[in-house]
C-alpha cells in the first residue's frame, strides 16, 4: 500500500494505522498530531488504513482535530459520570464550538460537589491513558447490548438509525463503552487540559414534550496555558454579558411578559438614537434615500414573494376584514412595492434605498438570547437597483461603507464569499457566473483578502458576509451583501433601457449592522459597557463636594447641555469618593468635581472612569475638548490635558 506524506511516497503493509506512521516522523508533530486526513477524509490515528493515498497529520490548530479531541473528552466525561453516579443514563455527547457537552438522565440534578467529583474522576481516566477501541455490531446485537446495560436512550437512537447505517461503539478502558460513530483519539491520555464549565437543563432530542435531562458542558485543550487563556476569556465574557450590563446600566432588558421583545429605557434610547443618527448621516453621504414601509401587509404579497409558502412558520399572521395578513419578517417585499410605484429609466439607476425596518420573526423560545436573538428587531436594510454593468461599482460602494462603519467602532473583520449551492437554485448559469464574478472582481480590485465558502450562497444569488471580531476575539456575522435574481423576476420589476425596451434590474440586498438590537448587544460586550464618548448615554456626571457648589454644578450642566453634551448631576450629601466610584460603576466617561474654589473660578476638576485624574481646567476649555472628542467619534480620549 502506497502512502504519500509531505511529498514523499512510501510502501506500507495494508491495515497499518496512522499512529504507526506518526511514530516514524521527526520533530514536534509526533506529540502535536491528534488526527489525520487520508485523501481529504478525516481518520482517527488508530484507524487501519485500507487504501493508497495522501496522508496529512492534523494538530489542534485544525477544526477537525479539535473536534476529535473534544468528542473524546465528552466520552471521558460520560465514563466519569457513570463511575460517580452509576444509575445515570447516557443520552448524547457531541463536540461543539469551543468545547463539548453530554446529556444525562439522573435522579437528582448535578451539584457543585458532584461536578468536582466528576472532574477528579475524569483526571484519573486521562492519567490512566485508557485506549479508545472501536468495534461494530449488527443492529439487533447492538440493541441487545444497550438493553443489557440499561441505556434506553441509546436503544432509541439505534432503532432510529437508517437500516443500512453501520452501528459502531467505542470501548474505553475495561468498564466503559458507548454508542458512537467517532472519530476518537487513540487514548485518553492525549487530553492534556480540560475543565467542566456549567450545567443546564436540556430536553431529550430538543423536544419540550420529552424528559428534561441534565447537560454538563466542558472544554478541552492540548495544554494548560491555552485552557487558562480560554477560561479567562469566559470570565471576561460573563462580565461583558450584554444582558447583565443592560440591566446594570439601565439601557435595555427582556421581560417574561414579552419573551424576545426587547424593552429600551431612556439611556438605551440615547444610545440607539445616536447609532441611528450616525447610520443616517453615512447613508445620506453615500447617496441613499430612506423610506419606511408598513409592518403589516397582505397575504397575497407574501405569496408572491414566496414567504407564505417557505417561511410561514416563522411569521406572525392575523386577519383584517376577514382577509389574511402577516407582520413582515423582512423588509424586501415592501421595498419592492415602493420601487414599482413608477417606471424607472436607466438614467435613474443605480437607485439606493435604505430602511430601518421593524420586523418580527417567530423564533423558538429556546433559541432566544438577549438582544442577540429576538423576535422583534430593526434591520438596517438597503436595497440597491441597478443595470448589470453597474454591479461591480455598487459592490465596491457597499464594501467601502461597511469598512468605514466597522473601523469607526474599532472592529477587525473578515470577508467571506459564498457561491452557488449545488441544488434548488434559480437563475441561469450565465447570471450566476456574472454575479459571482462581479463580487470577486470587486473584492480583488479593492485588494480585500477573502475566503470562499463553496455552495453556501442563497438560492437566489451569491453573497458576501462580513464577520466582525470583537475585543475578546469572538466572531460575529453582521453585514451581508446578497445579489438577488429571484425577487426581480417574481415581482416583474423593470426599467427602461437606452434602447427604449424594458429590462430587469439587478437587485442587491444589504445590511451593515445586521440589526440594530443585535449590534447594540455586540457593542455593549465589545466595549464592556464603557462606550466611547460619542455613544455614551451620559458623557459626564457633574458632582459637588459641598452643597455650596450646587448652583455652580447646575450652571455648568446648562452650559454643557446647550453645547450639545449629555450630562447628569449629583448633588447628594455624600463623600466625593463614593460619588466618583458610583459614576465609575455606571461607566460614565468623565466625572467633573466642583468644590468651593472651582465654583469661584469657573473651573472643574476632571477624572475619568479609568481612574485617571486630569487636573483642574477652565469650564469652557473642557467643553471644547469634550465636544471635539464627541464630534470626531473617537474611541479613546484624543486630547491632551
Residues with catalytic function: 332, 361, 379, 381, 383, 463, 509
DSSP element (H, E) containing 614:
strand 613-618
Cell, residue 39: 485523501
DSSP element (H, E) containing 162:
none
CA end-to-end span of the chain, whole Å?
74
Measured between alpha carbons, how far is 499 from 461 in angstroms, rounded to an integer? 27
Give the sheet arrangement for strand 41-43, strand by strand: 8-11, 2-5, 53-58, 35-38, 41-43
The crossing angle, in degrees rounded to 10, of helices 112-128 and 63-84 is 120
Measured between alpha carbons, how far is 314 from 377 in angstroms, rounded to an integer? 14
Q: Convert 297-333 into a string of H (helix), E (strand) and C (coil).
A: EEHHHHHHHCHHHHCHHHCEEEEECCEEEEECCCCHH
Measured between alpha carbons, how far is 223 from 232 in angstroms, rounded to an integer? 15
Q: What are phi and psi of 344, to 5 degrees?
A: -95, 155
Specify whether the CB–CB gap between 485 and 426 falls below 8 A.
yes
Q: What is the largest CA-CA distance in the chain?
A: 93
Handedness of CA 126, 129, 133, 139 (dihedral sign): negative
Measured between alpha carbons, how far is 555 from 532 in angstroms, rounded to an integer? 25
Cell, residue 377: 428587531
Classified as helix, coil or strand, 482 is: strand
Of 606, 582, 586, nearest in space to 594 by CA: 606
Per the rule left: phi > 0, alpha: psi between -120 and 50, beta: everything else, 338 is alpha
Specify whether the CB–CB gap between 215 and 81 falls below 8 A.
no
Amino acid at each position: 500500500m502506497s502512502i504519500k506524506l509531505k511529498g514523499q511516497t512510501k510502501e506500507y503493509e495494508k491495515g497499518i494505522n496512522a499512529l504507526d506512521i506518526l511514530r516514524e516522523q521527526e520533530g514536534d508533530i509526533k506529540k502535536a498530531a491528534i488526527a489525520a486526513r487520508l485523501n481529504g477524509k478525516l481518520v482517527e490515528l488508530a484507524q487501519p488504513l485500507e487504501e493508497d493515498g495522501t496522508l496529512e497529520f492534523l494538530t489542534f490548530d485544525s477544526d477537525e482535530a479539535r473536534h476529535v479531541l473534544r468528542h473524546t473528552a465528552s466520552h471521558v466525561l460520560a465514563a466519569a459520570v457513570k463511575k460517580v453516579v452509576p444509575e445515570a443514563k447516557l443520552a448524547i455527547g457531541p463536540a461543539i464550538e469551543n468545547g463539548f457537552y453530554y446529556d444525562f438522565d439522573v435522579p437528582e440534578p448535578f451539584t457543585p460537589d458532584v461536578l468536582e467529583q466528576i472532574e477528579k474522576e475524569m483526571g484519573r481516566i486521562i492519567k490512566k491513558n485508557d485506549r479508545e477501541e472501536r468495534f461494530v455490531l449488527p443492529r439487533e446485537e447492538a440493541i441487545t447490548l444497550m438493553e443489557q446495560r440499561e441505556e434506553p436512550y441509546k436503544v432509541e437512537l439505534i432503532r432510529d438509525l437508517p437500516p443500512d447505517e453501520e452501528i459502531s461503539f467505542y470501548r474505553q478502558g475495561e468498564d466503559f463503552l458507548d454508542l458512537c460513530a467517532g472519530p476518537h483519539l487513540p487514548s485518553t491520555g492525549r487530553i492534556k487540559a480540560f475543565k467542566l464549565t456549567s450545567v443546564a437543563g436540556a430536553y431529550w432530542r430538543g423536544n419540550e414534550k420529552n424528559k428534561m435531562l441534565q447537560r454538563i458542558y466542558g472544554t478541552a485543550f492540548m495544554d494548560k496555558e491555552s485552557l487558562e487563556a480560554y477560561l479567562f476569556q469566559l470570565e471576561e465574557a460573563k462580565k461583558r454579558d450584554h444582558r447583565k450590563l443592560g440591566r446594570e446600566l439601565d439601557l435595555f432588558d427582556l421581560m417574561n411578559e414579552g419573551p424576545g421583545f426587547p424593552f429600551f429605557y431612556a439611556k438605551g434610547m440615547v444610545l440607539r438614537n445616536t447609532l441611528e443618527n450616525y447610520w443616517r448621516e453615512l447613508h445620506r453621504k453615500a447617496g441613499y434615500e430612506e423610506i419606511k414601509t408598513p409592518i403589516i401587509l397582505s397575504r397575497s404579497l407574501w405569496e408572491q414573494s414566496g414567504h407564505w409558502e417557505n417561511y410561514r412558520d416563522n411569521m406572525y399572521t392575523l386577519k383584517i376584514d376577514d382577509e389574511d395578513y402577516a407582520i413582515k419578517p423582512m423588509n424586501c417585499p415592501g421595498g419592492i412595492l415602493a420601487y414599482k410605484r413608477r417606471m424607472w429609466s436607466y438614467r435613474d439607476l443605480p437607485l439606493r434605498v435604505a430602511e430601518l425596518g421593524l420586523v418580527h420573526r417567530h423564533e423558538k423560545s429556546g433559541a432566544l438570547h438577549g438582544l442577540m436573538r429576538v423576535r422583534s428587531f430593526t434591520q438596517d436594510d438597503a436595497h440597491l437597483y441597478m443595470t448589470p454593468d453597474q454591479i461591480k461599482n455598487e459592490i465596491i460602494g457597499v464594501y467601502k461603507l461597511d469598512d468605514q462603519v466597522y473601523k469607526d467602532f474599532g472592529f477587525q473583520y473578515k470577508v467571506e464569499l459564498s457561491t452557488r449551492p449545488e441544488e434548488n437554485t434559480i437563475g441561469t448559469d450565465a447570471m450566476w457566473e456574472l454575479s459571482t464574478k462581479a463580487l470577486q472582481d470587486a473584492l480583488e480590485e479593492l485588494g480585500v483578502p477573502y475566503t470562499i465558502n463553496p455552495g453556501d450562497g442563497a438560492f437566489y444569488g451569491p453573497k458576501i458576509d462580513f464577520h466582525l471580531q470583537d475585543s475578546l476575539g469572538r466572531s460575529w456575522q453582521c453585514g451581508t451583501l446578497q445579489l438577488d435574481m429571484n425577487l426581480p423576476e417574481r415581482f416583474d420589476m423593470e426599467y427602461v433601457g437606452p434602447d427604449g425596451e424594458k429590462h430587469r434590474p439587478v437587485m442587491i440586498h444589504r445590511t451593515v449592522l445586521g440589526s440594530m438590537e443585535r449590534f447594540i448587544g455586540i457593542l455593549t460586550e465589545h466595549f464592556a459597557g464603557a462606550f466611547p464618548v460619542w455613544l455614551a448615554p451620559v458623557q459626564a456626571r457633574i458632582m459637588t463636594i459641598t452643597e455650596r457648589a450646587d448652583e455652580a454644578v447646575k450652571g455648568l450642566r446648562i452650559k454643557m447641555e446647550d453645547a450639545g453634551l449629555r450630562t447628569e448631576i449629583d448633588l447628594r450629601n455624600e463623600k466625593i469618593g463614593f460619588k466618583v466610584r458610583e459614576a465609575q460603576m455606571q461607566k460614565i466617561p468623565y466625572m467633573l468635581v466642583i468644590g468651593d474654589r472651582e465654583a469661584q473660578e469657573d473651573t472643574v476638576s476632571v477624572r475619568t472612569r479609568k481612574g485617571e485624574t486630569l487636573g483642574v481646567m477652565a469650564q469652557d476649555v473642557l467643553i471644547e475638548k469634550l465636544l471635539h472628542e464627541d464630534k470626531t467619534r473617537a474611541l479613546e480620549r484624543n486630547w491632551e490635558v
